[in-house]
Structure 1
Amino acid sequence: MAHSLATLLPFAAALASAPEGPRVSLTSEARVLQGARLRGHECALDGGAAADSQGIGNGVAGVGRRAALAAAAASAMLFFVAEDSKAADAGVLSKYIKRKKLDPLDTYVPTVLLAQIQFQDVDEKLVGDKPDFADARSMLRNGPAGSLRNDIRAVAQYAAEAGNGKTANEAVDQCLSALEDLDSLLFRASRESGSASIDVMKSRVSTAVTALDKLLATVPENILEKGKAVATAYREQSTPSNDDALGFDESPDQLKGLL
Structure 2
Amino acid sequence: MSGAAGCALCSAPVAPRGAGASSRVVRGPAARLDVAVRAHARRELLTGGAAGLAAGLVALSRPGAAGAETAASPLASGGRGIDKYIRKRKLDPLETYLPPMIQGREQVLLVAEVLDDPKSARSLLREGAMKGFRENARAVGQYSKENGGPEKAEAIFKQLEALDLTLASALRDEKSVLDEQAARRQLDAAITAVDALLAAAPPDAVAQARRVVAVIEGRDVDAS
TM tier, smaller = 0.5 to 0.7
- Residue 101 of structure 1 pairs with residue 86 of structure 2: no
Q: For each residue in 1:81-120, what CA deviation from the matched residue of structure 2 results, as whole angstroms up to 9, or x when unmatched?
A: 3343455632112xx11xx221111111111111111111
For the structure 1 residues 85 and 230, does the alpha-carbon distance in structure 2 shift closer, same or farther, using more than 3 Å as the test? same
| Alpha-carbon separation, structure 2, partners of 1:214 and 1:234 | 24
- TM-score by structure 2 length? 0.62
| Alpha-carbon separation, structure 2, partners of 1:233 and 1:183 | 30
- Candidates 147, 153, 156, aligned match of 2:132: 147
Where does the alignment leave 5 or more consecutive residues of structure 1 unmatched?
Answer: 1-73, 238-259
- Candidates 170, 181, 198, aligned match of 2:180: 198
- Candidates 227, 232, 236, aligned match of 2:218: 236
| Alpha-carbon separation, structure 2, partners of 1:82 and 1:161 | 31
Counterpart mapping for 1:14-29 below 5 A: none
For the structure 1 residues 77 and 195, does the alpha-carbon distance in structure 2 shift closer, same or farther, using more than 3 Å as the test? farther
| Alpha-carbon separation, structure 2, partners of 1:197 and 1:234 | 35
Q: For each residue in 1:198-223, what CA deviation from the matched residue of structure 2 results, as whole angstroms up to 9, or x when unmatched?
A: 11111111111000100001111111
Letter in 1 for 2:180: I
Runs of 4+ in 1 over 6 A off after TM superposition: none
More helix by share: 1
- Residue 214 of structure 1 pairs with residue 196 of structure 2: yes
Q: For each residue in 1:40-96, what CA deviation from the matched residue of structure 2 results, as whole angstroms up to 9, or x when unmatched?
A: xxxxxxxxxxxxxxxxxxxxxxxxxxxxxxxxxx9x954343343455632112xx1
| Alpha-carbon separation, structure 2, partners of 1:162 and 1:85 | 29
8 Å Cα contact 2:169/2:176 also seen in 1: no
Cα displacement (A) at 1:145: 1.1
| Alpha-carbon separation, structure 1, partners of 2:84 and 2:195 | 34
For the structure 1 residues 201 and 80, does the alpha-carbon distance in structure 2 shift closer, same or farther, using more than 3 Å as the test? farther
| Alpha-carbon separation, structure 1, partners of 2:208 and 2:102 | 11
Counterpart mapping for 1:30-45 below 5 A: none
| Alpha-carbon separation, structure 1, partners of 2:75 and 2:184 | 46
Q: Look up the SS of the partner of 1:190 in the other structure.
A: coil
Match of 2:55 in 1: none
- TM-score by structure 1 length? 0.54
Match of 1:69 in 2: none
Match of 1:34 in 2: none
Q: Look up the SS of the partner of 1:108 in the other structure.
A: helix
Match of 1:185 in 2: 166
| Alpha-carbon separation, structure 1, partners of 2:142 and 2:199 | 14
Higher relative contact order structure (alpha carbons within 8 Å, sequence separation ≥ 6): 1
Instruction: Tell me the percent identity.
Output: 30
Larger radius of gyration: 1
| Alpha-carbon separation, structure 2, partners of 1:179 and 1:80 | 44
Deviates most, 140-149 or 182-191: 182-191
Match of 2:117 in 1: 132
Counterpart mapping for 1:53-202 below 5 A: 78-85=68-75, 87=78, 89-93=82-86, 96-97=87-88, 100-126=89-115, 131-164=116-149, 167=150, 169=151, 171-192=152-173, 193-202=175-184
Equivalent pairs, count: 152
